[in-house]
Amino acid sequence: MNELLSIVAHFHPQGTVNEIRPLGSGLINDTYKVITAEADAPDYVLQRINHAIFQDVDGLQRNIEAVTSHIRRKLEARGETDIDRKVLHFLQADNGKTYWKEGDAYWRVMVFIPRAKTYETVNPEYSYCAGKAFGQFEAMLADVTEPLVETIPDFHNMELRLRQLREAVSADAAGRVKEVSRYLEEIERHADEMCKAERLHREGVLPKRICHCDTKVNNMMFDEDGSVLCVIDLDTVMPSYVFSDYGDFLRSAANTGAEDDRNLDNVSFNMDIFRAFTRGYLESARSFLLPVEVENLPYAAALFPYMQCVRFLADYLNGDTYYKIAYPEHNLVRTAAQFKLWQSVEEHQDEMRAFINECMA
Ligand code: GN1
Ligand code: MG
């Protein structure tokens, strides 16, 4: 607590800090809530940025500042109210930056958004709102002029993720390859078709746009009435295919089970969530989406559980060096659950295509 307090002090929050306690369920950064004593002083969120993963912290924070100030200007121009609950606000530290380096750790502080909720699961009504919100998020960011860095280069590049898996298989650092052959075979059988986005991009037909790239359902803040306040966890905001935001939301929200469900009978693709989210997303994004982007949304829905399966499996084979785990076989359980979800998504390809055509008609 004392160490955390002295870090927070570099950001000069309003009020007196009463308590600092762990917050959220992210797999990458360490997050705390900073609670102040006075009723009129805001609470804050303190985060240690995982700079083993985000190696260019300065570039990362410059991205976030560009994006949040851009959104703030748009909301002001639109005459929105309650703007401080609709876009994140990062405090400046003594060094004039929105992060502070202490020893070899990097920290940042943002204002805590009061009376907002996050969910691990959502109903169709909330999914519709989420779809609209992500479409609007992408639309608002279409005219950012500052060049953004890729905070993790090639983050959602399926070819790279497969290469990393193959390297993990060859190294077999944890001696686990023998346990996972059934996953490896099935992944390899579909590898080419899953790398379609990279091919379309090389052919010059699929653009990169500024996307959020971590649209898990728990990265959205909802207001008490179910409307979306804002999206959080902006570390991965960078140029990518729109498939990223569309696919990763469905991967998390349309899973009838948990991301790491041990009971695979719980895991399947929920078409009601799919329909509601897609309807919302297309309403706000159809004005800028190209036909190639719309046509490939069912592919995107399959791509993300597939990619996440590949990433969890690679981490399992590497001996759990990337994702936080709660028990030794956690990454294998996650792999199995994402694998099952991917298979379930594949069964719905035709139905998804028909629904999207209906929405676009
Ligand atoms: C990580 O930070 P968090 O927990 O929201 C990961 C995502 C994965 C997700 C899987 C930088 O997100 O890409 O989809 O876990 N973020 C990074 O739950 O790798
Ligand atoms: Mg998160």
- pLDDT at 241 > cutoff 80: yes
- pLDDT at 247 > cutoff 90: yes
pLDDT at position 24: 82
What's the whole-model pTM score?
A: 0.90
- pLDDT at 19 > cutoff 90: yes
The protein residues having their C-beta less than 5 angstroms from ligand 2 (an ion) are 26, 219, 233
Distance linking the first and last C-alpha atoms of the chain: 57
- Average of per-residue pLDDT values in the chain: 95
pLDDT at position 358: 97
DSSP assignment of 297-317: HHHHHHHHHHHHHHHHHHHHH
Chain segment 124-160, per-residue pLDDT in tens: 998 998 999 899 999 999 899 888 999 999 999 999 9
Predicted confidence band of residue 219 (pLDDT cuts 50, 70, 90):
confident
Query: Running DSSP on this structure, what letter comes out for residue 226?
Result: S
Residues with CB under 6 A from ligand 1: 26-28, 53, 214, 216, 219, 233, 236, 259, 308
**Ligand 1 centre from 358 Cα, in Å?**
32
Residue pair 281/132 in contact (Cβ under 8 Å)? The answer is yes
Per the document, the length of the chain is 361
Chain segment 162-204, per-residue pLDDT in tens: 999 999 999 999 999 999 999 999 999 999 999 999 999 999 9
**Nearest residue to 30 (alpha-carbon basis) of 21, 38, 39:** 21
